[in-house]
Structure 1
Amino acid sequence: MKTQARAVVVGGGAVGVSIAYHLGKAGWDVILLERDELTSGSTWHAAGLLPLFNMSYAVGHIHDYSVKFYAGLEAETGLNPGFARVGNLRMAQTDARMDEFRLYAATAETVGVEHEWLTPAQIRSRWPLVRTEDLKGALFHPTDGYINPADVTQAMARGARGFGVEILRKVQVDAFDRDGDDWVVTVAHMVEKGGNLVPSGETSKIRCEHVVSATGNHAQATAARIGCYIPAMPVEHQYIVTEPDPALVEFRKTMPEHPVLRDADAKWYVREERGGWILGPYERGAPAWAKFGVPESFRADLLKLDLERIEEEYMSMIHRIPSSESVGLKDDYNGPICYTPDGNPLVGPAPGVENFWFAEGFSFGITAAGGAGHYLAQVMTEGEAEIDMWSLDPRRFGRWVNREYAAVKNEEAYEHVYVLHHPDEERPAARPLKTSPCYDRMKAAGAQFGSVNGWERPNYFAPQGFDDHAARSFRRGGWWTFAEAEARAVRERVGLYDATAFAKTRIKGPGATAFLDWLTCNRLPRVGRINLTYALTDAGTVRTEATIVRLAEDDYYVVTAGAAQAYDQDYFEKEAAKKRAAFGWIEVQDVTAQWGVFALAGPAAREVLRPLIVDADPASALSNKRFPWLSMREIDLGMVPTMAIRVAYTGELGYELHHPIEMQNHLFDALMKAGAPHGITLFGARAQNWMRQEKSYRAFGSDIGRDASPLESGLDRFVDLDKTFRGKAAMQALGVRAKCVTLAMDGPEDADPWGREGLFHGGEVVGRLTSGGWSVTLGRRIGLGYVRPELAVPGTALKVRMLGELHDAEIIEDSPHDPENARLRVNG
């Protein structure tokens, strides 16, 4: 065996083999290590389905790549991967489910996935074994199907070997150690003994630049070897295989293979298998497994059956396919499948260490394996992928996440596979967990909370007893009128928003200024001022959005997206460590939990603060002369020392009030009392989201990300081309492939866009929305999105697909609300 490689991939399931294949194809020298045999983890007992549809644009591309890649493997390798392109029929029992499918289809159009709509009568005509009288319709994607997991893995393995990848079986990783810039991987050679794999006593060491962990159910143990925890934990998944169904056998005498069936309202998939059926349910109550690690003796094993748990799903299969009632059971399986708290895999850099990569937590591993290998290889070999991988980044889960949280949330993620996925969905498990001090006050005022990085954050405020879950919809949910009233209140009077979930980092020291100047594309602010800026990837796209407050010459307070706290903190720490030799000492400190934040915004915002400020001349303390727009002042609001920043994401006169978190309730009470004469209104994230779109403020993670440069995102004014910064040359080399624009739209009377819809011109998809909502200023639907550069001109007429129908859309000038920023700059 070789003792040196560019990269070592640990794990011989479909995901690991795909990564090795794609790294080898890119020209890297790769070794793949497997503790047992290829496919001996979750791959061997996977059902092999290939569902293309996904509400995530990134995951949609990953699945789409996989299906296309698998289709060409036999021609490349000579091995048949067992790909049966039989199609996938998603059936809906309710109107709400049909609305969900329409949103799925909107995302699919932007990815380029083929699909068609069917009525119950059309379903019955094509597939007479399916009972349809209680269906509303179905979505059919003909390019979907299933594949043999073992065969596709072996085909990828043959392809990988063709690119020079060395695949070693029966070797167990015992340690990962750093030696300079390299990793040294210690492996124990394994032998069979009494039906178990045990170390033979022989060990080897492999030196490499990069390590990729694709260890499936063993992910937690692998992560522990480098001193970190990731919430990839298995959940039990049962499925059953029936004896041949005579009706299906008869059907197949004259018809092609039956498509995969998905009855999401019944919580199962069914596919044909040797004349019978495979039923795969996603029931309530499926438990997490191996909370503290997979037993050493666990190989290609299964878990104890609990068929009573899936009785309801089994009976619903009989209802949907009546001929299956008299068919006996042939096989049943209960195998562990790894999940994460949000159901998306962990694909990207490990926190805290260099050149260690995770590809873990694949609940739909066969579907995602091909694409995950392709896009992770792009990140590793080219610096970035074609798609924004932020939603899959392992660092989206903070360091506060532990085993108990993972167990509870992963069980919920499993249960939610077929739950209606409303765009305004807020899952309840493990909540509330992280709360700001004013949580109880907000809750008493009717706050309906969402969760951001574990923090409870108000989405909107409703009367006591209002049912947030019942209010959700793919159209305008029951919360819509409350959010609309909140937005009007901010535009007309004044509102208060709890923004404590913002991520906050202190970066200071002799090297801090040179470091941040190199890291970000905008000029740094003067002391006492702020700016909005962006850190770029080496590929020239947007890595991070940050508001930088300069406290002193070499002391900065950096505010980033709340959801990206661990993602950004890890980035700042790693990059600072690399640059200390060049720039001088740089201290990076996460201070998120030390500071609470209230956003006070609206025409009366200054009047609310005036009676609270402690100043020798309170009448002028908040004037433009003493406290101009885009500046920071340390002020006292009563007894609360406050870092006040004159900025507002709403586009109104406003202030972010950063305060010691332990004083939050005192400040909250004072602000509400001072605001009462001015009609102060508490508002939430949904109203704020609408208002920021009225100002064309781009949101990190949706409108801006690692698949577009700041120039493509319409952020030219925040890019200083007169200075040198990371990613500058790559950004300029990219040019402008697409352009972010603001759109005003028509639509159904009871619906607004969600930011996932396709944009059309001349009957052709020419772009997609990345944000959407309602504008109280325009009295019309509003959104942000990307279109071809030649179309990115105000006045261009487009169409937008909403709930299956095309509606008029028009590109408009940015910042339709107060384009001159007069309301932000107003003196007083």
Structure 2
Amino acid sequence: MKTHVKALVVGGGAVGASIAYHLARAGWADVMLLERDELTSGSTWHAAGLLPLFNMGYATTHIHDYSVKFYKTLEEETGLNAGFSVVGNLRMAQSPERMDEFQLYASTADTVGIPYEFLTPEQIKERWPLVRTDDLEGALFHPTDGYINPADVTMAMAKGARQRGVIIERKWQVDGYRWTGSEWIVTATKMGEKGGNLVATEEQIEIHAEHVVTATGNHSQRTAQLLGIKIPAIPVEHQFIVTEPDPALVEYRKSHGEHPVLRDADAKWYVREERGGWILGPYERNAPARFEYGVPDSFRADLFPLDLERIEEEYMSMIHRIPSSEEVGLKDDYNGPICYTPDGNPLVGPAPGLRNMWLAEGFSFGITAAGGTGYYLAQMMVEGEAEIDMASLDPKRYGDWMTTEYAARKNEEAYEHVYILHHPDEEREACRPLRTAPAYDRQKALGAQFGQVNGWERPNYYGPVDAPDNFDYEARSFRRGGWWQYAEAEAKAIRESAGIIDATAFAKHVVKGPGAAGFLDWFTTNKLPKVGRINLTYALTETGTTRTEYTIIREEEDRFVLISAGGLHAYDRDYLLKAVEDKEPEFGRIEVEDWTTRFGVFALAGPKSRAILAEVIRDAEPETALSNKRFPWLSARKIELGMCPIVAVRVAYTGELGWELHHPIEMQNYLWDLLMKAGTAHGLKPVGARAQNWLRQEKSYRAFGTELGRDATPLEAGLDRFVDLSKDFHGKAAMQAKGIRSLCVTLLIDGPEDADPWGREALYAGDEKVGRLTSGGYSVAFGKSIGMGYVRPDLAKPGQKLKVKMQGRLWDAEVVEDSPHDPQNARIRLDG
């Protein structure tokens, strides 16, 4: 058995086989895959094999699309039939709101190039007469997908991998990982069988690997323990049943092709044909998480006892939708573990805190995602980055605050929500509130409706003070929901008077020491600020795309505060710490301190924000303390507001006169009360994240995770002024080599009266798709919809007429100059 390899893949399900295949196809020799049992013996063997293209995430949609196309090529390459039945996928809707969801998805599908067709109930009945349609609004049909045999496609990928030189070893269990500083030493034990159980033998081996990928599926908790990290991938029970042949279906098939996969989203199930009968797969309530602390050694290709009572409602709804199934008996039943994560998306990318360790865990739709995951993860490993932004799937989107209990309960919720309406303004309730800043109760008493960002509770908007507990749920919509009027009022308050926004969730790191300045000058694209000043800057990937956005405050010559997105705290911290470790020998001692939970942040903004602060500031010359002369734009100062010490930063993400007020977290309630009292006479209004998102688009401020990501450079994002090409910085040459493939623009949109874009829509010039929105919302300054996105460079000029796909129609849009509201920044620089 080989003991030295370039890459070791641990796990022989569909995902592991795909990763091994694609690493070899990308040119890596010496790839080995280890499987503790037999290939496909995890969740792969009992998966239903569906290939749904429907997904709201841009990266995940690309992954699924690649898989469907790739699987169709495997037989020609390997000679093995992967069992792909391209029967299409009919996703039915019982309500207008569900059709709105399908329309939003369809525009996302347009950005990737996935074909689809909308059908009326009459058209459904004409094509598939066994389906009851009298209570349907319509359906979305995908003609290019269907279902596949999970074992066959895995074996085909495994054969393709072997043909490309991959070594696949079965019955080897990994028992330990050790990093030497240059390679991993992986300890594996040969497994034998005794009484039907897997048992460890005395035979052990050490494998030296430059890179390791874990694709351990249901065993991810054991993997986490061996690596000393947290992986929030825990299985949830999933049941499906197989019926005896349905005589009506058998008769139908005598003159028709195979039925498409049926999905009644409002009834929470999928159904497909199986040997003249039906497979029903429900996503019911109360499906329990299993194996929270690891899979028992006795559990191999096993199943759990069936709980038919739990899926009775879904079973009866299948009979309602396919009346001929009522007299058909049950033939087989399955209840097996399928891994989930708290948001339902897999964990794909570098492991937190570890070098050359890659995770591919938590796949609830593992067959659908396997092909694309292998392709894009291989790009990350071989080329340094994938061609699409994979940040939404990064394992570090969950920090060390995440616990087993949290993961288990959120995973159960994610399972239950597979067919719950996926509102863009959705906020799920399980395990909340968990991380709360001190002012949470005060904000809640003012009507705050909260969202969750990296576990933190953050106000999205402020609804009625006496709102019922289910107010936010009822306010959600694919159009302008019940929350819209409150966000509009908050946005107007900041433009006309003042608003206060809780930004406590910001990630905050102090970087200091003799090597700090040299390191940060290399690590980021912009000039470093002078002492007492700030700047906006970017850290790049090694391929020259945007990895992180920072606001840097320079407090001393060798002391800096780095502020970045709150939702990506662990993601940013991991990248920063690894870069410091690499470069400290070159630049000298560098210390990094995480101050995220030590300091809260309030953003006070609006034309009256200076007047509010003037009432509470303690200064020898309070009348000039906040003037442009003493406190200019883009500067930072230590001030005192009442009894609270503040690091105040003259900047506002909303594009108005304003300050960020960084304060000791234990004084937050005092400061909140002080500012709210002082602001009463000036019309101060608490403001949530949704209004802020609208306002920043009026200023063309790019946001990380939307306009900014690992698939575009800062130059493509239109951020040339924050890139100092006169200096050397990490990723500079790669950034320049990429050129300008597309450009970020701001658009004003003449959209429908009852809806705004969400930032997932396709952009057209005539009938040609030319780009996509990355953000969307409403502009109180212009009284119409607004959006930001990427288009071909030749179309990025102000005045360019485009179209935005919304609700199945194309709406007029116009590219405008950056910062269409107050382009000269006169309001930000307002003196007083």
TM-score if structure 1 supplies the norm length? 1.00
| 1:117 partner SS | strand
How do 1:378-393 and structure 2 match up within 5 A? 378-393=379-394
Partner of 2:411: 410
Equivalent residue in structure 2 for 1:720, among 705, 718, 724: 724
How do 1:729-768 and structure 2 match up within 5 A? 729-768=733-772
Structure 2 distance, partners of 1:743, 1:332, is 52
How do 1:511-550 and structure 2 match up within 5 A? 511-550=515-554
The Cα shift of 1:117 comes to 0.6
Structure 1 distance, partners of 2:826, 2:530, is 23
1:455 aligns with 2:459: no
Structure 2 distance, partners of 1:194, 1:55, is 46
1:580 aligns with 2:581: no
The Cα shift of 1:244 comes to 0.4
Partner of 1:784: 788
Moved more, 209-218 or 176-185: 176-185
Structure 1 distance, partners of 2:664, 2:766, is 55
The Cα shift of 1:708 comes to 0.3
Does the 8 Å CA contact 1:739/1:788 hold for their aligned counterparts? yes
| 1:212 partner SS | strand
| 2:292 partner SS | coil
1:246 aligns with 2:242: no
Structure 2 distance, partners of 1:124, 1:726, is 59
Structure 1 distance, partners of 2:548, 2:323, is 54
Give deviations 1:678-702, integer Å, cap 9, x for gaps: 0100010000000000000001001
The Cα shift of 1:465 comes to 1.6
Q: Given residue 2 of structure 2, which amino acid in structure 1 is its aligned partner? A: K
| 2:751 partner SS | coil
The Cα shift of 1:589 comes to 1.5
Does the 8 Å CA contact 2:751/2:784 hold for their aligned counterparts? no
Structure 1 distance, partners of 2:110, 2:360, is 27
The Cα shift of 1:2 comes to 0.6
How do 1:129-144 and structure 2 match up within 5 A? 129-144=130-145
How do 1:273-292 and structure 2 match up within 5 A? 273-292=274-293
1:16 aligns with 2:21: no
| 1:476 partner SS | coil
The Cα shift of 1:611 comes to 1.7
Give deviations 1:371-394, integer Å, cap 9, x for gaps: 000000000000000100000000
Does the 8 Å CA contact 1:235/1:339 hold for their aligned counterparts? yes
Partner of 1:46: 47
How do 1:97-108 and structure 2 match up within 5 A? 97-108=98-109
Partner of 2:35: 34
The Cα shift of 1:195 comes to 0.8
Does the 8 Å CA contact 2:197/2:297 hold for their aligned counterparts? no
Partner of 1:571: 575
Give deviations 1:384-439, integer Å, cap 9, x for gaps: 00100000000000110010000110000000000000000000000000000000
Q: Given residue 768 of structure 1, which amino acid in structure 2 is its aligned partner? A: R
| 1:825 partner SS | coil
Equivalent residue in structure 1 for 2:800, among 785, 789, 796: 796
Partner of 1:337: 338
Structure 2 distance, partners of 1:773, 1:478, is 15
How do 1:659-698 and structure 2 match up within 5 A? 659-698=663-702
Structure 2 distance, partners of 1:689, 1:344, is 24
How do 1:162-561 and structure 2 match up within 5 A? 162-463=163-464, 464-466=466-468, 467-561=471-565
Does the 8 Å CA contact 2:348/2:395 hold for their aligned counterparts? yes
Structure 2 distance, partners of 1:290, 1:578, is 37
Structure 2 distance, partners of 1:321, 1:661, is 58
Equivalent residue in structure 1 for 2:608, among 594, 598, 604: 604
Structure 2 distance, partners of 1:485, 1:255, is 57
The Cα shift of 1:764 comes to 1.0
The Cα shift of 1:762 comes to 2.0
Structure 2 distance, partners of 1:613, 1:749, is 44
The Cα shift of 1:364 comes to 0.2
The Cα shift of 1:180 comes to 2.7
| 2:222 partner SS | helix
Structure 1 distance, partners of 2:267, 2:227, is 42
The Cα shift of 1:303 comes to 0.9
5+ unaligned residues in a row in structure 1: which ranges?
none
Give deviations 1:653-689, integer Å, cap 9, x for gaps: 0000000000001011110111111010001000000
Does the 8 Å CA contact 2:499/2:604 hold for their aligned counterparts? yes
Give deviations 1:191-235, integer Å, cap 9, x for gaps: 111111111201011101110000000011112111111100000
Q: Given residue 16 of structure 2, which amino acid in structure 1 is its aligned partner? A: G
Structure 1 distance, partners of 2:310, 2:11, is 31
Give deviations 1:780-814, integer Å, cap 9, x for gaps: 11000100011111111111111111110111111
5+ unaligned residues in a row in structure 2: which ranges?
none
The Cα shift of 1:580 comes to 1.0
Q: Given residue 465 of structure 1, which amino acid in structure 2 is its aligned partner? A: A
Does the 8 Å CA contact 2:605/2:657 hold for their aligned counterparts? yes
1:110 aligns with 2:111: yes
Q: Given residue 352 of structure 2, which amino acid in structure 1 is its aligned partner? A: P
| 1:485 partner SS | helix
The Cα shift of 1:291 comes to 1.1
Does the 8 Å CA contact 1:755/1:771 hold for their aligned counterparts? yes
Structure 2 distance, partners of 1:385, 1:408, is 32
Does the 8 Å CA contact 1:27/1:163 hold for their aligned counterparts? no
| 1:481 partner SS | helix
The Cα shift of 1:296 comes to 1.3
Does the 8 Å CA contact 1:548/1:559 hold for their aligned counterparts? yes
1:631 aligns with 2:632: no
Partner of 1:148: 149
How many residue pairs were aligned? Answer: 828
Structure 2 distance, partners of 1:165, 1:782, is 50
Structure 1 distance, partners of 2:588, 2:254, is 76
Does the 8 Å CA contact 1:10/1:211 hold for their aligned counterparts? yes
Give deviations 1:698-721, integer Å, cap 9, x for gaps: 010011100000011111111000
Structure 1 distance, partners of 2:362, 2:336, is 15
Question: What percent of counterpart residues are identical?
Answer: 72
CA root-mean-square deviation: 0.6
The Cα shift of 1:528 comes to 0.6
Partner of 2:779: 775
| 2:266 partner SS | helix
Q: Given residue 17 of structure 2, which amino acid in structure 1 is its aligned partner? A: V
| 1:795 partner SS | coil
Structure 2 distance, partners of 1:599, 1:762, is 42
Does the 8 Å CA contact 2:243/2:332 hold for their aligned counterparts? yes
Structure 1 distance, partners of 2:242, 2:472, is 39
